[in-house]
Structure 1
Amino acid sequence: PSGNYIPYTDVLRLVSWAKERNITLIVDESFGDFVESPSVVSLLEQHVLDEFPNLVVIKSISKSYGVPGVRLGILATTDQGISAKIGKEVSIWNINSYGEFFMQIWNKYKAQYVSSLTSIIQARKSLMQDLGTISYLNALPSQANFIMCEVVGGKRSFDLAVELFDRYNILIKDLSTKRGIDPKQFIRLAVRDEADNGKLVKALQEMDR
């Protein structure tokens, strides 16, 4: 993921284009909750799925809720063939007790979740501004809870990741092994709270000297 956001209307145009050509389109909405001030974000609407049987929408709960251990997600499509094939591969008890409990209590903490999203969006804005002061990074616009940056100025993403970890105990994502990245150098930085973001920016600035 790059953090890039494609507006709802543009995605619908793409789905329509794919439908005309009998192409199945898979849309991952796992980071959709982090979009700032969306008018419409989700394709998880019955009328959309009915209109576009070629559309498959997936969403992982662990991305936005920060609970990777839950391993909980959804897949929605009106294509019965795809549903049947996936159903054959899914175990009978495909949600563990932890995931089931999480679903039961989710609504109880909905207000806190929305508040947390607001905080992340604000922190992302501040981090984007601060990253603009780092000469060897080009931060790409993001609507996720991370920021993808191109590493320039002769630096290598792998070396940058190693130095951050060795000197500052900060772990970032080196994207040099991702398909389609080479020969450019990219990293991904998680958007955290003000203190952690400040620690990251300070380290990056020190490495800029």
Structure 2
Amino acid sequence: MPFTLSRAVRPNILSLLPYRCARDDYDSGILLDANENSYGPATEANPALQLERYPDPHQTELKKLLAGFRGVPSPDYFFVGVGSDESIDLAIRVFCQPGKDKILICPPTYGMYSVCANINDVGIVKVPLDVTDGKFSIIPSEIKKALAADKSIKIVFLCSPGNPTGTLIAEKDIKEILEFQEYDGVVLVDEAYIDFCKEPSSVASWTTKYPNLIVIQTLSKSFGLAGIRVGIAITNPDIARVFNNTKAPYNVSTLASKVAIEALQPAGIAKMNSNVQQIWKQRDDLIAALNKFPRVRGILGANDANFVVVQLVNEKGEPDNEFALSVYKRLAETEKIVVRFRGMELGCTGCLRISIGTEAEHKVLLEKLAELLQ
């Protein structure tokens, strides 16, 4: 069944008349329409920022830069939000009827999909990844089986590269889900870590072909801007319009927008690419060093992101959560080195997730691990 927006979106959302804010009409001149404080902010800030005024509700300049950077034909394909989490929550609110509809996830995966579904009273169908030997790949046949069996599934969430798996999903597998004729919902591909893949791998440009595809990305990771909380959704203009109609009027601040715009200038993109190349080197070096420890069984996943998943074993050579948890706590509480314990995730028994740091940070980490992994 072909995807139809009018059938996929909740009726009350589709008929929504968005809040019309003051800046929708005019944004220059003597502005006495939005109950702003014309005497300026109560802080020493650059007057050029005009912090006493509300930000651009449409983020026009930022969307133009994003369209050019991601090779998407028009800013009309974009929604800009407060991190990727706003896009995740909006997608569930737009497409899923509370208490009736469901999403599909492939664990182990990013935890906010389930959190947002639970907040919105939306069911969750789980089709686990193939975790054999740390493969962490989706199983399209199982996903399609679940979609065919349950017509209340409205969104398929695919995290690529995965979190905590670090594995890029094969393009042919994503395409197989998008083209499944028995499913008329949306496919959301979370590409938070896409810039850390060594080969161009984003499916953002596919949004011109597939009307049911939503690709979410963020400036938090490769651009190193987690503090400004700017995320984007790339999708066909009809869905983007629904997202923009549903969001809060001024969801992205002037300060966040300004930093994001600066980052997407040629100098900012060059700096991002340079940093990514350093992360690649540190990732490869860290993997080589970790594999030398006797209590390390190996590094799981394909390592397409800015972290590695290392599996620790006990004296019998078995993956061991108790041992991994003790190492995790010792690193954090005694050595002040904080990694992430991931042993409770499917296929991740005995695993720690380690974000890629600097060479100096890795030196300290490896010295401490040498003491703990004897």
TM-score scaled by length of structure 1: 0.85
Query: Superposed, which structure 2 residues align to 1:173-188 within 5 Å?
Result: 173-176=340-343, 178=345, 180=346, 184-188=349-353
Deviation at 1:71, TM superposition (A): 0.6
Q: In structure 2, do the counterparts of structure 1 residues 136 and 14 end up closer, same or farther at CA, with 3 Å as the change threshold?
A: farther
Aligned amino acid, residue 307 of structure 2: F
Report if aligned partners of 2:219, 2:230 keep a CA contact under 8 Å in 1: yes
| 1:205 alignment partner, SS class | helix
Match of 2:311 among 136, 150, 153: 150
Aligned amino acid, residue 270 of structure 2: A
Q: In structure 2, do the counterparts of structure 1 residues 79 and 151 end up closer, same or farther at CA, with 3 Å as the change threshold?
A: farther
Q: In structure 2, do the counterparts of structure 1 residues 166 and 10 end up closer, same or farther at CA, with 3 Å as the change threshold?
A: same
Query: Superposed, which structure 2 residues align to 1:1-209 within 5 Å?
Result: 1=163, 2-17=165-180, 21-36=183-198, 38=199, 40-45=200-205, 48-78=206-236, 80=238, 84=242, 86-106=243-263, 107=265, 108-137=267-296, 138-140=298-300, 141-153=302-314, 154=320, 156=322, 157-176=324-343, 178=345, 180=346, 184-209=349-374
Gaps in structure 1 of 5+ consecutive residues:
none
| Aligned counterparts of 1:192 and 1:20: Cα–Cα separation in 2 | 44
| Aligned counterparts of 1:110 and 1:51: Cα–Cα separation in 2 | 27
Report if aligned partners of 2:222, 2:272 keep a CA contact under 8 Å in 1: no
TM-score scaled by length of structure 2: 0.50
Gaps in structure 2 of 5+ consecutive residues:
1-162, 315-319
| Aligned counterparts of 1:43 and 1:145: Cα–Cα separation in 2 | 19
Report if aligned partners of 2:196, 2:222 keep a CA contact under 8 Å in 1: yes
| Aligned counterparts of 2:251 and 2:235: Cα–Cα separation in 1 | 18
Report if aligned partners of 1:54, 1:79 keep a CA contact under 8 Å in 2: no
| Aligned counterparts of 2:201 and 2:208: Cα–Cα separation in 1 | 17
Aligned amino acid, residue 187 of structure 1: L
User: Deviations for 1:150-207, whole angstroms, at most 9, x for unmatched residues?
Assistant: 23224523222111112321001112455x467x232110111111112111211111
| Aligned counterparts of 1:83 and 1:58: Cα–Cα separation in 2 | 15
Report if aligned partners of 2:218, 2:232 keep a CA contact under 8 Å in 1: yes
Name the structure where helix makes up a greater proportion of residues: 1
Compute the RMSD of aligned alpha carbons: 2.2
How many aligned residue pairs are there? 201
Report if aligned partners of 1:161, 1:173 keep a CA contact under 8 Å in 2: yes
| Aligned counterparts of 1:67 and 1:144: Cα–Cα separation in 2 | 16
Report if aligned partners of 2:299, 2:308 keep a CA contact under 8 Å in 1: yes
Identical counterparts, % of pairs:
22
Report if aligned partners of 1:7, 1:41 keep a CA contact under 8 Å in 2: no
